Amino acid sequence: MRAYYFDNLPGDQRLQHNSGKSADLDDLRELGVLHWTIPLDIPGGWEAKIDEVAAQQGYKNRDTMNVTKEGLGELYESKLKSFFEEHMHEDEEIRYILSGSGFFDIREHPSDEWIRIHVLPGDLLVLPAGIYHRFTLDELNQIKALRLFKEEPKWIPYVRGPETEANPYRVNYINSLKGVLVA
């Protein structure tokens, strides 16, 4: 995993777009983003380590997502476009990268700058409920990821806008950054 500020220059979203300003794990933790490196070839297998993290974090369900041009066919470009639209979820977004690679961009608060996180095989990334983010593949144009969920799998994106700003999960997320205790 490597993180840095997005350069906001026009061009293919799958390119690096590295502004030259880096971000580190502490920067991500301040935004509620968690990261583990769990190599695919660790003794005992990555599955055992994922099971351990899942038990600690309360992740009960999982599935696998495979984003490739071959796999998605005619839906490939429209899916990438929808993944790259700025949105939030009412649940954590948890991904363990099995193969391929891509970028998760998260909005830093309060600056509203994008931080780009390049995920590779062995990265486990957790985005908190309520954080604005987007996803795209990189130039490899493929990723296979294990998705983990606290409850039943669901993926409902709430596109950024006035209604989403008032969403209780967004409000709780912003309050958590301010150190406000929420019920």
The annotation places the binding site for Fe(2+) at 87, 89, 93, 133
Binding site as annotated, residues:
87, 89, 93, 133
3 state DSSP class of 55: helix
Q: Are 102 and 138 in contact (CB under 8 A)?
A: yes
Write phi, then psi, for 55 (nearest 5 degrees): -65, -45
Residue type, 140: L
Both tokens of 129, joined, read: 């409920």
164 vs 149: CA distance, rounded Å? 22
Write phi, then psi, for 109 (nearest 5 degrees): -120, 135
Binding site as annotated, residues for Ni(2+):
87, 89, 93, 133
70 vs 56: CA distance, rounded Å? 36
